[in-house]
A and B are shown apart, each in its own frame.
Chain A
Amino acid sequence: MDSEILRFLKEYDGDVIRIMEVCGTHTAEISRTGIRKMLSPKIKLISGPGCPVCVTVTAYIDACIEIAKRENTTLVSFGDMLRVPGSHGSLRDAQAEGASVKMVYSPLDTLKYAKEHPETMYVFAAVGFETTTPVYALLMEQILAQQITNIKLLTSLKVMPPVIDWVCANQGNVDGFLAPGHVSVITGSRIFAPLAEKFHLPFVVSGFEGEELLSSIYALIKLRGQGTVMNLYPSVVSEEGNTLAQAQVEKYFTPGDATWRGMGSIPDSGMYLRETYQKYDAGSLNLIEDHVLNRACRCAEVLTGKITSEECPLFGTACTTEHPQGACMVSMEGACFNHLTAR
């Protein structure tokens, strides 16, 4: 990497600049590579709401648990979701008490189970951002094509632009964004242009390698105050994104208000099955309650970049990767998990 850039980043002495990443994989990579130690103290990297598991409210986890306890019903999920605390325990706790929970690598694996056990209803805990929603669209395509009647989705699907808008409008202390890499693969880099213009902030689409992240941070400093989008990951992310995936999402899902942990309801920040396909929905609407397991937990403020993980009084003491008190410590993409494991 250009040593001039490295020196600039280490010796930067301008106004303090706060750069937010809104991608769990970026969060993990920044911690793993120790990038913070390569930067001037005047360059602050803060983690935003980029981990879909972390922003899921407890009402959703509670609904998953209730479904998993039903007779002849199995709740199917990605592994990340199993340890997230609901109001009264996690899916893993429920599983230990006899609830039927199955972990899969791909939502499409559910098709095989459903065909093998037609007497069982399989409900997929469909959590994710723009990267994952097309996968659920593909699952819907197969459910219809194969005329499968024993799969439903409990959705908690979210989209990034409205929550970035919320952070800019309510926090107001971010000077630039590392735009989420794999979300951008689907949406294209152009999706961030209206936000860049509205808030006069730069967005840089970044790769995941340490050098790519450092280059992106450098670009954000140089672009400070400019409402522009720069794509520094052009070999993977195009301006228009994956249009076929976008069309599939449009076919099955429609935008609607969604509740985010710590932020409340944000208009049109969620995606729900269209009216035509509501018979495949397992009760995704109105899951808005967010019960805090430990009153001292400050996940909500960590998620919005208001405080750092280290500023939470539970961090590394009552809240650890073995005994997480909040979702940010559960997920491998969570800010607290990464800050703690990087120490």
Chain B
Amino acid sequence: MCVATSGEVLKVENGIAEVDFQGNIVRAAAGLTEVSPGDYVLVHAGVIIQKVTKQDNDIMTQLLAEMEDAARG
């Protein structure tokens, strides 16, 4: 349940960010940390909880893809 995924912020408007997860654009609330377009962020349950480095973003993106593959069997 504590799974968080990372992506790149595309834009921020009225406290809501559009975050790019490998081409999948998702809206996430930005109320717990200040973010700007171009930032890489960690999103948990629809809320940005932290900024991350691009390197960490790449690692977590790969990890999530592997976990999804494993879940599909």
Decide: A106 and B46 in contact? CB cutoff 8 A.
yes
Q: A32-B70, A141-B31, A208-B63 are in contact. Are A129 and B47 (CB under 8 A)?
A: no
Binary B-proximity of A19-33 (CB < 8 A = 1, otherwise 0): 000011100110010
The number of residues on chain A lying at the interface, defined by a beta carbon within 8 Å of a beta carbon of chain B, is 43
Contact B47 A134 (CB under 8 A): yes
- Give Cα A321–Cα B54 distance, bound, in whole angstroms: 35
Most chain A beta-carbon contacts within 10 A, residue among B2, B3, B73: B2
Contact A236-B45, Cβ < 8 Å, known A134-B32, A182-B4, A245-B32: no
Nearest-CB residue, chain A, relative to B70: A32
Which residues in A have their C-beta under 8 angstroms from that of B33? 242, 244-245
Q: Is the CB of B50 within 8 A of A24?
A: no
- What is the number of residues of chain B that contact chain A, defined by CB distance less than 8 Å? 27
Chain A residues near B70 (CB-CB < 8 A): 32, 341
Q: Which of A160-190 contact B (CB under 8 A)?
A: 180, 182-183, 185-186
Chain B neighbourhood of A332, CB < 8 A: 71
The 8 A CB mask of A305-343 against B (1 = contact, 0 = none) is: 000000000000000000000000001110000000100
Q: Is B2 a contact partner of A23 (Cβ separation < 8 A)?
A: yes
CB of B32 within 8 A of CB of A242, answer yes
Find the residue from A28, A135, A207 having the highest chain B CB count within 10 A. A135
Partner of B63, one of A29, A131, A235: A29
Contact B67 A28 (CB under 8 A): yes
Choose one: A127, A186, A208, A242; the contact of B1 (CB below 8 Å).
A127
What per-residue 1/0 map shows which CB atoms of B1-32 lie under 8 Å from chain A? Answer: 11110000000000000000000000001011
Q: Check A209 against B63 for contact (C-beta < 8 Å).
A: yes
- A residues contacting B by CB (< 8 A) are 23-25, 28-29, 32, 51-53, 78, 80, 105-109, 127-129, 131-132, 134-135, 138, 141, 180, 182-183, 185-186, 207-209, 235-236, 242, 244-245, 248, 331-333, 341
Can you name 15 extra interface pairs (CB under 8 A) apart from A128-B1, A182-B2? A24-B1, A51-B1, A52-B1, A52-B2, A107-B46, A127-B1, A131-B1, A131-B4, A132-B45, A135-B46, A138-B32, A180-B2, A208-B60, A236-B42, A236-B53
**B residues whose Cβ falls under 8 Å from a Cβ of A:** 1-4, 29, 31-33, 42, 44-47, 49-50, 52-53, 55-56, 59-60, 63, 66-67, 70-71, 73
Which 6 residue pairs spanning A and B have beta carbons closest together? A106-B46, A131-B2, A182-B2, A245-B32, A135-B47, A135-B45
